[in-house]
Amino acid sequence: MASLSKQKKSNRDERERILRLKHKYENRITIAKHGKECLDAGDYGNALKKFIDYFLILVELKEVKDIYELKVQMFDPKKDLTELLMISHIYFEMARMYDAVPKFQEDSKKCLDQFVHFSANQPFQVVNSEMVRKYLKKSVFKNPDTFRSAYQQIFVQSKKCYIVTFCYGDQHQLTQDFRSFKEHLLDFSLGQSAVRLYYLYSSQLVDRYHHHQGFKFLSKLFIKPLLLLFSKTILRVIIKK
């Protein structure tokens, strides 16, 4: 009898926990928006608190240990795309706020790692990388090297190679070779600028014209042969294939 009563209480507690989590989940976006409002008003303490409260709801929902264990794979890439963008931006804003206080440098780095994770290979990857680049240009960081490294890591971790992938597919060996070429370029400042421009303009080109028959014809007639020629000559020397 006592065992049955204990089981009923346990079931009731679990139902109440689920209801509380459901209520918090339904209000999570409002909490995140309040954090942004505090940030815009210069109230950084409350901004951090609201952002952490938002992440703690996701932590409870996804059943992970802390806010740095949230992963892209835990979300629906189509249904949750807008929230994934928001998550990446919140991590970035938290990294900026932590960066301003020397004792929170480790927290800043953890947030930046999460920002990179939620940016690389996402449709908004170029937008996020440009956001970091503009902040770096303004020299607003206490530790710019950490943010510069995050900026580069977005490209390093990215498997995107828009035009080459469009022409040859994601798994083609030539596509893999051009990814190696990208990693080589990222070792140099001019190469980093070249990669940035490539991502910026090639993503727009492919997104806009990938269904256009004229673009497909152009890629087959001119772009594919040029990429193949480059891969068998200059690229082969660079990546020592």
Digit-coded pLDDT (tens) for 192-221: 888 888 887 787 777 776 677 777 777 887
Domain extent, residue 171, equals 159-241
Residue 42 lies in a domain: no
Is 1's pLDDT higher than 60?
A: no
Question: What is the H or E stretch that residue 240 is in?
Answer: none
Residue 128 lies in a domain: no
Is 20's pLDDT higher than 80?
A: yes
How far is residue 91's CA from residue 55's CA, in Å, rounded to a whole number?
10
Residue 196 lies in a domain: yes
Please name which of 197, 176, 195 lies closest in space to residue 241, comparing C-alpha atoms.
176
Residue 219 lies in a domain: yes
Judged by average pLDDT, the poorest of 8-22, 83-97, 149-163 is: 8-22
**Inter-CA distances, 81 with 60, 74, 195, Å:** 20, 12, 25
Query: In Å, how far from its chain's centre is CA 31?
Result: 21
Highest mean pLDDT among 17-21, 141-145, 234-238: 141-145
How far is residue 48's CA from residue 21's CA, in Å, rounded to a whole number?
21
Per the structure, how many domains does the chain have?
1
Residue 118 lies in a domain: no
Q: What does the block give as tokens for 126?
A: 């170029």
Residue 199 lies in a domain: yes
Residue 17 lies in a domain: no
What radius of gyration do the chain's Cα atoms show?
Answer: 23
Residue 231 lies in a domain: yes
Global pTM value? 0.79
How far is residue 177's CA from residue 231's CA, in Å, rounded to a whole number?
8
